Structure 1
Amino acid sequence: MPTTATLYYAPDGFDTGRAKLMGRHAAGEGMLGGLVRHAGFDRMVALCGSEADAAAFRAQVAGFDPAMPAETLGAAELPRLAETGCLMLPGPDLSGFAWRRRRESRQAAFSLTGITHTIASASAMDAIAGLLVAPVQPWDALVCTSSAVQGAVRRLFQGEAHYLARRLGASRIEGPALPVIPLGVDTTALAPDPAARAEWRARLRVSAQDILVLHHGRLSFHAKGHPLPMFLGLARAAAAAPAGARVVLLLSGWFADAHQRRAFTEMAKALAPGLAIRLVERPETGTTLRAAADLFTLLSDNVQESFGLAPVEALAAGLPVVGTDWDGLRDTVRHGVTGFRVPTLLAGPMDDLAARHDTGMDSYDSYIGGIAQFTAVDVGAAEAAFAALIGDAGLRARMAAAARADALARYDWAVVVRQYHALWAEQATLRRAGRGERAAPLRGEEPMPRRPDPGRLFADYPSGRLAPETRLVLAPGLADAAAALARVQALLAVTGIAARRELLPSTESFQMLLEGLEAGPATAGALLAGTPPGRAPRLHRALAWLVKVDVLRQARDAA
């Protein structure tokens, strides 16, 4: 199968070796690995902003599969995206490339496909709302990783569309398609591993009879999940555990700072003083750690969460999940089958939090922390879920088997990549149909109204403009084209004479222009007559530069 998509690659979106690891980094790395292994591409292709990024892409692809060819395109090669038909972006901002496509290519030359991660930040919300005024087309898509995120994106679209309709009288306001496709995981790497289980449990001083509950990810009370429901629910459930079974909570992950570490430590002492707790911090957060656990928990209460990759990794590892009935977990955890979803309650109104964040009075962390503070997780339901799994080994075994089977069927990258292939095929069908293009540029219209040709935008600045009818002549003292060309070459040898030398034409082109003036004054149009359309703008500008450096003058100034 030929390659059907190009990735926009910047290392930040695919790097899990960074100090401040976020879900989008793990998701990006996982998607790249999933495409290398399961997409059936004949080569991996990336659009890169620099040679350093291109080298990083080639190295990362080789790390997944040394035999996979890796091809990179430079920023100036956007039209070549038609070769694969789609540009995959690691975030929701399609606007910049939609405008570039309108300027540099046919709109139906290729599709754009973005993906949501967190959509709570101001920049993400601005990017999503901006899609309604950007030149996105029916063959473009913003992939939502969960149905909850899809609902939030639609609300952003609805609010922006209502404003545009009232402000501008717009009657047809359309964004990209919003398919729901989950993130995937490497189910082979996450398979239960009895040897790793024995090794980790020995290292953690956890016996075969103990019940180990794993919480993995960022340890953040304001940006991931407040630990109070987990500490209270587990401590109470642990008190009623079967005889001889000790409940141990394993916190695996990383603290953002000393304040988070102190908060988790103090809350654990205050809320669950009798609960056995282990802590494994980076770098010991490899996939084999999950093999040690008997169940997994993530009681997320944060709008920064949008999918929840860690619970899906836990399902793939054969762990029942106690999660919240919240965002992406509502799609991934099958209540009563692969685990339990704990009810959540969101307060309101919170317009003041939105306003404070918008004006810069509150940081992003303060904004999401404020929302989380007024989001409740049902502690009683969490306790009941923990108690059910702690007290019934048979239930744990049944849910573990169901969890693994569900991950294989729904979240293995091979399964997820097939959904992307179906999306790319649908986008290609729409492009080939060539109908329904929104706001196709008219002849002579600026393709990018906010970034127009500066020669037209600033037309009121100069005394006049170099037009086809402008008559030019060699400057006084220049007897012929040879003398004029010699002056050009001497000037170009002086530092600063031409700040952007690469924008000027070749010596041969200068000679051609100057020879056209040996017989006397000529118009700019006459000098460029017969020039191929692709070269004409460059030569037209060069005439103005020759006037700038006093090699040419306007004919009326010659005397």
Structure 2
Amino acid sequence: MPPPPSPPSAALLYAPDGYDTSRPRLMGRHAAGEGFLIGLVRHAGFERMVALTRGEADAEAFRRHVATLGAAAPAEAIPDNELQRLAGIGCLMLPGPGLGEHAWRRRRIGPATAWSLVGVTHTIASAGAMDSILDSLVAPVQPWDAIVCTSEPVRGAVRRLLEMQGGYLARRLGATRIEGPALPVIPLGVDCAALAPDPRARAEWRARLELREQDVAVLHHGRLSFHAKAHPLPMFLALGRAAAKAPPGARVVLILSGWFADETQRRAFHEQAKAVAPHLEICLVERPETGTTLRNAADIFTLLSDNVQESFGLAPVEALAAGLPVVGTDWDGLKDTIRHGETGYRVPTTLGGPMPDLAERHDAGFDSYDSFIAGVAQFTAVDVPAAEAAFAALIADPVMRRAMGAAARRDALARFDWPVVIGQWRALWAELARLRREARAERAAPLRGEARVPHRPDPSILFAHYPTRRLAPETRLMLPPGEDAAAVLVRLRAYAGLPGAAPRRDLLPSMDSIQAALEVLEQGPATAARLSAELQPLRAWRMNRSLAWLLKLDLLRLADG
């Protein structure tokens, strides 16, 4: 009998936007998010699926989403204002690399050893993504927190970013220790079973696209964007030349599959192909359905990425799982995923420079993010002769295509299938839990009496120089002369009914708590501490600060002047 499932060791920060692949402008992070949720549902072995959600609408969306994925375990949503419940789970998984906001929130409510925070990289090229990564150097991020990098090249870029900012902070502040989060490498996963080669789907798609059995179909699938994904000129040049040298009877067809952002992109692809590869046959399959089986029509997959927007490249991994050899660039995550000469070919790339002006213009707001990444891509070269040679070798040798495709499928099963990838996540959760258990103390733990979140301090402390005095626990209060508790209560109810008398009525104590305090004052002046002494801590907080509101309405007076 199999062992019982383990209790959850991680909860997911869930907002529907991060996991929706039905949207018209589908991005890699959406596909990665939903894929990860599918992997968790099917392979994590949780007794219950837990998400941290903001609002009941998101909670219901989470429960509905995991139900549609066939979750056997019940779904539970923790409201965002009950963050302390994460202590019973051990880890909060975030949909991006930013740990800072959640590290500060954790610090507000309890010990940092209560749970770990784990983010994950998607694109790291945007100013917002860079800032969220760098925030981990000043936020109370701990050694048992992590930013998961989806490839070694991404980890190298994240580490370089942290080291550069860390060096500045050390010189600026005289710091002797600059610590960031752990940076483990875990790739994105795919459902290899769903992507298995399907002869029936191959026959249907090739008939639909009018491809003969001897034709060689090369698939490019994803966003069709020259500025934000992969400039198509190197692909058109290399494939057009390789197609012209194809063996007799081997017609080469490029299947362009995906979605154009706008008409500018559509026109650019069309005109570039016509100008540099006029004899290359191109079949456009625009906006294929989610979960398309179109890969089965292809004999080769290609993505000649040249863009810093890219960080992993999920489509090439899906192609490997579908048993296709991949011609990709030696760039970002493709360095990790394509085994050169075994599962495909990696085409060399050359990055130009320097480009500090591009970073400066984007940072200052003169250039949009799209303009920034387009500029970097413009100065990134793809080795067209090497790409031509890779295409030509595969076009000419069907035996090699089949052998590489079989190796690609085996490699995907061994490295990128969701059970394998979720196993790496489970190992990470266990390691972070060990670090929490063995931790002697939180790094830079707050001192007694110190603001737990110094950049968002208690306003009654920050603005202590504004008033004449502060209402302190030892402040003595009394009823107005000539009034008893009942008379004050009558006035209180009358004032409370006036529009705007209590703009944040939700922050006030109950009327019963106020009445009890007034009855204490019938015996004579008393300190603020005495008036809340019988209340639970949270209710005492409410009473202590609300005494100032009662003073504002002249329902109480200061006993000492």
TM-score by length of 2: 0.97
1:392, 1:470 → 2: CA distance?
89
1:328 and 2:333 aligned: yes
Counterpart code for 1:528 = S
SS of 1:46's equivalent in the other structure is strand
CA deviations on 1:216-269 (whole Å, 9 max, x unpaired) are 000000110010111011111111112111000000000011100000010010
CA positional deviation for 1:530: 4.3
CA positional deviation for 1:183: 0.3
1:269, 1:394 → 2: CA distance?
31
1:549, 1:80 → 2: CA distance?
38
Map 1:356-395; keep pairs closer than 5 Å. 356-395=361-400
Counterpart code for 2:537 = P
1:523 and 2:527 aligned: yes
1:166 and 2:168 aligned: no
1:218 and 2:215 aligned: no
CA deviations on 1:296-335 (whole Å, 9 max, x unpaired) are 0000000010000000000000000000000000000000
2:184, 2:292 → 1: CA distance?
29
Sort the Cα spacing of 1:215 and 1:551 in 2 relative to 1 into closer, same or farther, 3 A. same
CA deviations on 1:360-406 (whole Å, 9 max, x unpaired) are 11110000000000000000000000000000000001000000000
2:57, 2:529 → 1: CA distance?
43
2:453, 2:537 → 1: CA distance?
21
Structure 1 unaligned runs (5+)?
A: none
Cα-Cα RMSD = 1.1
Which of 294, 307, 315 is the matching residue for 2:312?
307
What is the aligned partner in structure 1 of residue 553 from structure 2?
A: 549
What is the aligned partner in structure 2 of residue 483 from structure 1?
A: 487
Counterpart code for 2:486 = A
Counterpart code for 1:134 = A
Sort the Cα spacing of 1:66 and 1:128 in 2 relative to 1 into closer, same or farther, 3 A. closer
What is the aligned partner in structure 2 of residue 120 from structure 1?
A: 125
What is the aligned partner in structure 1 of residue 92 from structure 2?
A: 87
2:382, 2:329 → 1: CA distance?
7
Asked if structure 2 preserves the Cα contact closer than 8 Å seen for 1:190 and 1:287, the reply is no
CA positional deviation for 1:434: 2.5
Counterpart code for 2:445 = A
Asked if structure 2 preserves the Cα contact closer than 8 Å seen for 1:138 and 1:436, the reply is no
1:495 and 2:499 aligned: yes
SS of 1:287's equivalent in the other structure is coil
Map 1:51-62; keep pairs closer than 5 Å. 51-62=56-67
Map 1:333-348; keep pairs closer than 5 Å. 333-348=338-353
1:371, 1:477 → 2: CA distance?
78
What is the aligned partner in structure 2 of residue 505 from structure 1?
A: 509
CA positional deviation for 1:274: 0.5
1:454, 1:389 → 2: CA distance?
68
Counterpart code for 1:486 = V
What is the aligned partner in structure 2 of residue 535 from structure 1?
A: 539
1:265, 1:435 → 2: CA distance?
62
Asked if structure 1 preserves the Cα contact closer than 8 Å seen for 2:42 and 2:71, the reply is no
What is the aligned partner in structure 1 of residue 435 from structure 2?
A: 430
CA deviations on 1:175-206 (whole Å, 9 max, x unpaired) are 00000000000111111111111111111111
Sort the Cα spacing of 1:529 and 1:43 in 2 relative to 1 into closer, same or farther, 3 A. closer
What is the aligned partner in structure 1 of residue 274 from structure 2?
A: 269
Counterpart code for 1:383 = E
1:289 and 2:298 aligned: no
What is the aligned partner in structure 1 of residue 3 from structure 2?
A: none
1:179 and 2:184 aligned: yes
2:538, 2:54 → 1: CA distance?
25
Asked if structure 1 preserves the Cα contact closer than 8 Å seen for 2:257 and 2:284, the reply is yes
Asked if structure 1 preserves the Cα contact closer than 8 Å seen for 2:92 and 2:115, the reply is yes
TM-score by length of 1: 0.98
SS of 1:322's equivalent in the other structure is strand
